[in-house]
Structure 1
């Protein structure tokens, strides 16, 4: 990338780029699945805030939300979909390209 070429911030996935959604995607990329309380504790947000952000990720097709009852208590479990994993990797590649150039290699 030429030194004076502008960084193409428009290629950043706005669904993922929100702080809470970014944290959820990062956590789920390393954990196969996580329940609602794990995600709430890891992100440090309120139940309502987490619910809104999970819904946005689900609507985008990035996460799957499974609801069940365990010992009469509702349990919400989340996991990345294949599309979500692809979007996450593309997001990371775009951020690397913005930081280190189109090759995206910090060693360059």
Structure 2
């Protein structure tokens, strides 16, 4: 049996990206500013991390207008949802010590 750390997703594992995915998993879509405020990062940090999640296919970015003001909405993809679930399963397995016992 391999150690569960081998099942951690390197894209999601970074704390800011993990926080973004965790925020998006519970809603259909969220406005960029909302996610920025919830996870307490700057626009530039969030933008950079979203780019990496988008490149991996985990997050969808939609741009549009609310009235005359430009807005950006973020949503988690099915691929992102599955990757996040698998990553959390690996974290739980590590925390529970489900990777074998030391020899006696």
TM-score for both structures, normalised by structure 1: 0.84
User: How many angstroms does 1:8 deviate by?
Assistant: 4.0
Match of 1:69 among 65, 68, 71: 65
| 1:54 lines up with 2:88 in the alignment | no
Shift of 1:73: 1.2
Greater relative contact order (Cα 8 A, min sep 6): structure 1 or 2? 2
- Is 1:29 aligned with 2:22? no
Which segments of 5 or more consecutive residues in structure 2 lack a partner in the other structure?
100-104
Paired residues in the alignment total 99
Contact residue 11 and residue 17 of structure 2 kept, 8 A: yes
Matches within 5 A, 1:1-108: 7-102=3-98
User: How far apart, in 1, do the equivalents of 2:89 and 2:62 lie?
Assistant: 29
Q: Please report the TM-score for the alignment, with normalisation by the length of structure 2.
A: 0.87
